[in-house]
Amino acid sequence: MTEAGQTTPVDVTDLCQQLIRIDTSNPGGPEKPAAQLIADILATIDVPVHWFEPEPGRCSVIGRVRGSDPDLPPLLIHTHLDVVPAVAEDWTHDPFGGELHNGYVWGRGAVDMKGMVAMTIATLSRMAAAGRAPHRDLVVAFFADEEAGGQLGAGHVTATRPELFAECVDAIGEVGGFSYTLTSKSRAYFVSTAEKGVWWAQLTGRGRAGHGSMINPDNAVTQLADAVSRVAQYHSDTQFTPTTTATFDRLRLLLDSEGFSEDELLSQLEPLTRMLRAGLRNTVNPTQLHAGYKANVVPGNATGTIDARFLPDNEQQMRAHIAQLAGEHIRVDDLYSGPALEAPLESQLLDAIGAALRSQDGSAAVVPYMSTAFTDAKWLHRLGINCYGFAPMLLPDDVDFTALFHGVDERIPVSALIFGVNVLERLLTDY
């Protein structure tokens, strides 16, 4: 790394703003300008990158930072450069303006996940300026296409150059590391040690096309509507995995609530309750409907999409149950799927994460949890890497973190960005 004094550390807030101002909406905005910005900064601290561009503009960059102990397995830090689209008129401020208001950086990607991209780069820049190397080698990955499943990003990179990750045992990425104040003496930082599997599918009803004024018992729209209604009633029983068992055991300890039921604990955790409940069972939601082209024409087919999320070891039975609910006249086609994941709870990395958090917040306590989102961990897991969701942020108590992901008025506190850099620097120095 560059000798102390040869670089000026990157300002994390400024970099977060710059990244937000680069529209990398997926679909719509290529990641290449953001990837170039990251590559240029890494070059200033002597970190060359590998470029991947499977389609024009759809770029990922991967670098390796040398640590002081080359005998240790590298730590992988993975982020993504794309964001979900935003409708400007729905927002209080320009979603691609990267504006500062009342101590927050506003814009699409502030938490998902350009804030973490900025924290990662700012941490490496600050360490380089001080002439400090991380304890172990770091593989830093900035992927394209995560928001659409990752085939053009982590999927492509891991398939074509798996050797870049060959020595990595553990990884940190999204979604986790966000705070929630439990008591005056304890603040939980939810670190994802598992994530649910995902199955996107298309339901297709086929019938007899005809004039809208006629009796039509073979109406594809009706077939689909009935099927979607049945599928939406899908319900699974509560199930506990090692991660979710640890979640509630840890919360009981921190809240001094031994003997409390899960429902009693969840009642104390608004607005996180919805997310934590979803981590206890399989879920399915209809998300799109398409049919017809004219008011007085019965179409010959109608389609809808569903978003199903499942716990470990539940995929096949859930698929079968949903197909049964859809009915024999509805065709079910895969659109995208990814496995459910669960990483070890006994981990030196988790211990180091806890120590790094406590170095900046004496009340910090790591709480493992089951992420309901899917991430690029689904591609990295195939290489045998244990993936943990950790993008450290100390948040004000009145912020509903889960509502910011893919939501209107996404924003991140400047103080959370600075906190994240401090925690990451401690983690990378000590672990």
> In the CATH hierarchy, which fold is given to the domain comprising 12-194+341-430?
Aminopeptidase (3.40.630)
Q: How many residues does the chain have?
A: 431
Q: Are the beta carbons of 227 and 324 closer than 8 angstroms?
A: no
Q: Are the beta carbons of 138 and 77 closer than 8 angstroms?
A: yes
Beta carbons within 10 angstroms of residue 265's beta carbon: 17
Given the structure tokens 């978003």, which residue do they identify? 307
CA distance 49 to 140: 9
Instruction: Give all strands of the β-sheet with 411-413 in edge-to-edge order.
Output: 100-101, 104-106, 411-413
Closest CA to 425 of 107, 119, 101, 87: 119
pLDDT tens, per residue, the chain with 431 residues: 444 445 689 999 999 999 999 999 999 889 999 999 999 999 999 999 999 999 999 999 999 999 999 999 999 999 999 999 999 999 999 999 999 999 999 999 999 999 999 999 999 999 999 999 999 999 999 999 999 989 999 999 999 999 999 999 999 999 999 999 998 899 999 999 999 999 999 999 999 998 888 888 889 999 999 999 999 999 999 999 999 999 999 999 999 888 888 888 888 888 889 899 999 999 999 999 999 999 998 899 999 999 999 999 999 999 999 999 999 999 999 999 999 999 999 999 999 999 999 999 999 999 999 999 889 999 999 999 999 999 999 999 888 888 888 889 999 999 999 999 999 999 999 99
CA 77 vs CA 147, 409, 415, 427, 429: distances in Å: 18, 27, 22, 12, 14
Beta carbons within 10 angstroms of residue 300's beta carbon: 16
Per-residue confidence (pLDDT) for residue 224, from 0 to 100? 95
CA distance 215 to 302: 18
Query: Within 13 Å, how many C-alpha atoms sit on residue 315's CB side?
Result: 13
CA 285 vs CA 86, 199, 266, 340: distances in Å: 21, 11, 22, 18
Structure confidence by residue, pLDDT tens digits, 132-177 = 999 999 999 999 999 998 999 999 999 999 999 999 999 999 999 9
Closest CA to 271 of 369, 367, 397: 397
Cβ burial, residue 231 (10 Å; 0-12/13-18/19+): buried
Q: Are the beta carbons of 77 and 42 closer than 8 angstroms?
A: no
Q: Are the beta carbons of 80 and 141 closer than 8 angstroms?
A: no
| CATH code, 197-239+281-338 | 3.30.70.360
User: Secondary structure of the chain in the HEC alphabet?
Assistant: CCCCCCCCCCCHHHHHHHHHHCCCECCCCCCHHHHHHHHHHHHHCCCCEEEEEEECCEEEEEEEECCCCCCCCCEEEEEECCECCCCHHHCCCCCCCCCEECCEEECCCCCCCHHHHHHHHHHHHHHHHCCCCCCCCEEEEEECCHHHCCCCCHHHHHHHCHHHHCCCCEEEECCCCEEEECCCCCEEEEEEEEECEEEEEEEEEECCCEECCCCCCCCHHHHHHHHHHHHHCCCCCCCCCHHHHHHHHHHHHHCCCCCCCHHHHHCCCCCCHHHHHHCCCCEEEEEEEEECCCCCEECCEEEEEEEEEECCCCHHHHHHHHHHHHCCCEEEEEEEEECCEECCCCCHHHHHHHHHHHHHCCCEEEEEEEECCCCCHHHHHHHCCEEEECCCECCCCCCCHHHHCCCCCCEEEHHHHHHHHHHHHHHHHHC
pTM, to two decimals: 0.91
Q: Are the beta carbons of 121 and 15 closer than 8 angstroms?
A: yes
Q: Domain residue spans in the chain?
A: 12-194+341-430, 197-239+281-338
Farthest-apart Cα atoms in the chain, separation: 81
Structure confidence by residue, pLDDT tens digits, 286-318 = 999 999 999 998 899 999 999 999 999 999 999
